[in-house]
Chain A
Amino acid sequence: SSMVFKRGSVGAKGPRAYPPHQLHHQMPVLLIQDKRRRGQLAALSIAAVVIIVGVPLWWRTTETYRAWLPVSQIKDLAKLQLHLSADVEVVFARGTVTPEQQKKVPLTQTQDEEHTVDGDLLMQFMILRYETKYRTATIMEEDALKKPTAADLSLHMLSESPCGSLVVYVIPESSSLLPEDVNVYIGQRRTALVRISAQMRVGKTLEQLLAQLEPQIKQVLQVMSFSHTDITVALSDRVRFRPGNKESIADSMRAFKSSPGYEITFSLLNPDPKSHQLHWDIEGAVQTYIQPLLTKLSPLANFSMDSQTLYYTMLGVTPRFDSSFEAYTLNADSLAHVINPVEARLGSNAASSNPVLNFLLYVPDIRHSPLYIHDHRKQEVPSNAFHSPRWGGIMVYNVNGFYGSETEFPVHVNINMAKVMGVFLAQLRLLLGVQSLSPPPGFLVAPCGSTGLADWELDRLMWSRSVENIATATTTITSLAQLLDQIGNIVINDNIAQQVSSAVTSLQLAMAELEVGNLGFALQYSKEAILASEKAFFDPSLLHLLYFPDDQKFAIYIPLFLPMCVPILLSMLKIVSEARQRRREKQAKKE
């Protein structure tokens, strides 16, 4: 600040001239004060910039992008109860109800069964509902029931029941459709015939008649539709299992888990091409015998098939010659060691991650022909085949009967594909989860027909698959939400959030459809839910490699921020201490 002579400031006496030493004394004080003021302002503004601009900027640039997830909806899903509903129609044929009972029909009843499920995460309760409609038979149905053969097929022609529903026809005792000791006949389609016994009918009101019929109808429902044990088995990997029903546990371990697709491979193993020249029409056989089943199962999953022939591949076990049977035998205990050496040689065409079902047809070499499989009681197994849970099946096909001892080798053999495919089809059914129930006494189950699967078996599969899919998708989504919540460093991209939202929507829709009883839609929505939830859970970007223990965090930030913060802090402290000193001086001056 230089001294400036202003004309206006000249006083009466003339310009006042400060003595030089006083000027110099004044200047440094002002300079110092100015400098200090400037310094304080600088420190304060730096601190302001750091706090107002720097800290938010650092926070925003080091935070991970996390798209919004519908967490509350996911929590609600986990608590949702499972409602399953099936429509049952009970049709009374002529001669089963008295005229006064007939007046009260048609009638609708709803039965709810509540069961607790001891699950770890979800679905503490499930409610099974049967909506039963009672009515009398129409004339066309009566005509169909009078036919001695194929009653259920002709009944099926009249009205096709939608999937998930059942029709039970109650026929009088005098009817000749069923043999003597059989009271219930379960057909190939979604119909069943129940024979009423004489004492049920006479002199009772409709309610008493229905109450008498109820145990039998309930048994039919247990066989043809869902039951509490089936649903618990479908939830078996999420539920702490009390091993009450050994058969159902074995079933759950045998069948493949629900998957959007399966690969089926048929292999012909010829260990002795010098003796046997085998020919199998696999394309035609697959088209005629296996494809109808797979087409019927198409709502459940996609199937792709291929076949191969392997030469010079032996079984891993040497069969023993049994003189009492005049043949070589493989007993049940050694079968477990057969599969592994063969599996190493099987090629696989699978480009996807779908589970593979292997069906092997083994033709024994001439030195070990014929070869039979024996069970634990040394009895021959009629199909000469065995299967392994979640892997596939092997059948041994003996060809020594096709030629005599003086033929010229190699012998050309045409394999009987109908017999082979009959066995493979049975194994395929078991591996895909069609449960092999032993029906209660007095029941007769129709053979499953040329497709290999009865309609009600398909319904059962669809029920258990829907429930399994819903349970799996729910736990996937719930555990994903938990994981993302726990680990704050994982980036959640928009596509993951979108997959999660669509999975949640599909799950809600699937459960709603199950409650109403639309099995087809419920299965479709549950498949969509599973696909979306698996995509979200297994997205490659969700890898948690960002584990920073606290000491490492300090070690990274201290060299960056400490050198910058120390001058600011010290100047702040200096400002504060100076302000305090000034205040003390002022107080001292006052006093």
Chain B
Amino acid sequence: NINPCVQIIIHLLSVISQNSAGQFFSSGHTNNWAVLVCTSRFWFNYRHVANTLSVYRSVKRLGIPDSHIVLMLADDMACNHRNPKPATVFSHKNMELNVYGDDVEVDYRGYEVTVENFLRVLTGRLPPSTPRSKRLLSDDRSNILIYLTGHGGNGFLKFQDSEEISNVELADAFEQMWQKRRYNELLFIIDTCQGASMYERFYSPNIMALASSQVGEDSLSHQPDLAIGVHLMDRYTFYMLEFLEDIHPASKTNMNDLFKVCPKSQCVSTPGHRTDLFLRDPGSVLITDFFGSVRKVELTMDAINLTDPINPVNGEEQKEVYSYADQLPVSEIIHQKPKQKDWHPPDGFILGLWTLILLVFFKTYGIKHLKHIF
């Protein structure tokens, strides 16, 4: 019962695993996540939503599935009263490209986009009832792309006109992620005014950061669409997206090309980047390491020889018969008689009104009329 074939298979396996171990070393990640946040609301901030949705589309096109994307948007553009084309969000003028599409999955929408929720998603401190789609379930072999856009200033980023997140809080959140090994490498992209101030305070390893403008500069928007009436995109994200359109899942473009996107002549502001915390050389980091999801694959060389026949599943087991539960008894509701409402004494407003009327009457016509009434 000692099978010499097993030995051969084991030898083959060792050879194959050495080949695949070589490719593991280029980057130590096995899965990709993306956290895309648009921190503005209201119609005139259309371009921030279009920015985020365009990045979302690119990231999906390059392979990251919806289950690995946490998208936070105010989501008040597509169905806004002022939108001349409802259910659309365009990123190019003349309405060339609808980035809202059919399969947008927004995880945090409306008033759920708060600093607290954002930090909770990053650090993982969510209440136990949070569903999987709203969690960042990354591990120590995940590469995470974090994209923020909105209105910002020197050292802070404004969330929905009511609160702000400071660069210190963001750096602390990343440090907590590192302590719990919630990422392998992190790419942080921010497209706001004075965006470079947001990455000044990072101190955790393996973070690479890009910003659309330096401290003291404003990030400008790209082009308005006269039919919609607002600016559609910001310049940095627009040119970054043009760059990403040339990337496909098997391309070998590296980060140095991403740093060159949108020079001052096109962007008016000076984009900045920070790589001192990153261990690998940016020239060896592929764009698809963060924006796409290229899976590592190993061939399965051996199989286990199973000889037992399948036990027939016990036929006596009663299969439970499920029936549809009537959740809303529509027929009862339709044919219902109107409920008898209990009588309530007239409330204060009516009483006060009548008292006022009576007083005015008696003031005008004299008190002697009272005795006719009472």
User: When chains A and B are docked, how far (Å) is the Cα of A448 from the Cα of B125?
Assistant: 42
Asked if B299 and A386 make an inter-chain contact with CB atoms under 8 angstroms apart, the answer reads yes
**From residue A159, how far is it (CB to closest CB) to chain B in Å?**
22
**From residue A467, how far is it (CB to closest CB) to chain B in Å?**
16
Asked if B297 and A332 make an inter-chain contact with CB atoms under 8 angstroms apart, the answer reads yes
* B181 CB-CB contact with A under 8 Å: yes
Asked if B306 and A450 make an inter-chain contact with CB atoms under 8 angstroms apart, the answer reads yes
* B265 CB-CB contact with A under 8 Å: no
Of all chain B residues, which has the CB nearest A444? B2
Give chain A's interface residue range (CB within 8 Å of chain B).
35 or more
Question: Which of the residues B127, B181, B250, B300 comes within 8 Å of A237, measured between beta carbons?
Answer: B181
Question: Which of the residues A387, A419, A448 comes within 8 Å of B297, measured between beta carbons?
Answer: A387
Chain A neighbourhood of B297, CB < 8 A: 332, 335-336, 338-339, 386-388
Asked if B115 and A545 make an inter-chain contact with CB atoms under 8 angstroms apart, the answer reads yes
Question: Which of the residues B1, B30, B64, B313 comes within 8 Å of A150, measured between beta carbons?
Answer: B1
Q: Which of B3, B139, B294, B302 has the most CB of A within 10 A?
A: B302
User: When chains A and B are docked, how far (Å) is the Cα of A390 from the Cα of B124?
Assistant: 20
User: When chains A and B are docked, how far (Å) is the Cα of A483 from the Cα of B11?
Assistant: 48
Knowing A284-B311, A426-B302, the reply to whether A336 touches B180 (Cβ < 8 A) is no
Asked if B169 and A547 make an inter-chain contact with CB atoms under 8 angstroms apart, the answer reads yes
Of all chain A residues, which has the CB nearest B114? A545
Asked if A444 and B300 make an inter-chain contact with CB atoms under 8 angstroms apart, the answer reads no
The proximity string for B residues 283-323 relative to A, scoring 1 for CB distances below 8 Å and 0 otherwise, is 00000000001111111111111111111110000000000
Q: Which of B6, B124, B298 has the most CB of A within 10 A?
A: B298
Question: Which of the residues B18, B139, B303 comes within 8 Å of A423, measured between beta carbons?
Answer: B303
Q: Which of B135, B297, B307 has the most CB of A within 10 A?
A: B297
**Residues 102 to 116 of chain A near chain B (Cβ within 8 Å):** none
Report the stretch among B19-27, B267-275, B329-337 that lies at the interface: B19-27
* A289 CB-CB contact with B under 8 Å: yes
Of all chain A residues, which has the CB nearest B13? A436
Of all chain A residues, which has the CB nearest B311? A288
User: When chains A and B are docked, how far (Å) is the Cα of A550 from the Cα of B132?
Assistant: 39
User: When chains A and B are docked, how far (Å) is the Cα of A425 from the Cα of B310?
Assistant: 15
Asked if B125 and A543 make an inter-chain contact with CB atoms under 8 angstroms apart, the answer reads yes
Chain B neighbourhood of A393, CB < 8 A: 300
* B63 CB-CB contact with A under 8 Å: yes
User: When chains A and B are docked, how far (Å) is the Cα of A448 from the Cα of B304?
Assistant: 8
User: When chains A and B are docked, how far (Å) is the Cα of A287 from the Cα of B312?
Assistant: 10
Chain A neighbourhood of B168, CB < 8 A: 547
Question: Which of the residues A285, A386, A446 comes within 8 Å of B300, measured between beta carbons?
Answer: A386
* A48 CB-CB contact with B under 8 Å: no
* B57 CB-CB contact with A under 8 Å: no
**From residue A180, how far is it (CB to closest CB) to chain B in Å?**
12
User: When chains A and B are docked, how far (Å) is the Cα of A487 from the Cα of B64?
Assistant: 36
* B78 CB-CB contact with A under 8 Å: no
**From residue A111, how far is it (CB to closest CB) to chain B in Å?**
28
User: When chains A and B are docked, how far (Å) is the Cα of A48 from the Cα of B152?
Assistant: 47
* B225 CB-CB contact with A under 8 Å: no
Chain B neighbourhood of A287, CB < 8 A: 310-311, 313
**Residues 507 to 531 of chain A near chain B (Cβ within 8 Å):** none
The proximity string for A residues 451-463 relative to B, scoring 1 for CB distances below 8 Å and 0 otherwise, is 0100000000000
Q: Ordered nearest first, which 7 A-B pairs have the shortest CB separation?
A: A250-B21, A340-B63, A479-B179, A246-B21, A438-B14, A284-B310, A385-B300
In the complex, given contacts A427-B300, A543-B116, what are 15 additional A-B residue pairs having Cβ atoms less than 8 angstroms apart?
A247-B21, A283-B313, A288-B311, A336-B296, A348-B67, A386-B297, A386-B300, A388-B296, A423-B304, A425-B304, A426-B304, A438-B11, A438-B14, A539-B125, A540-B120
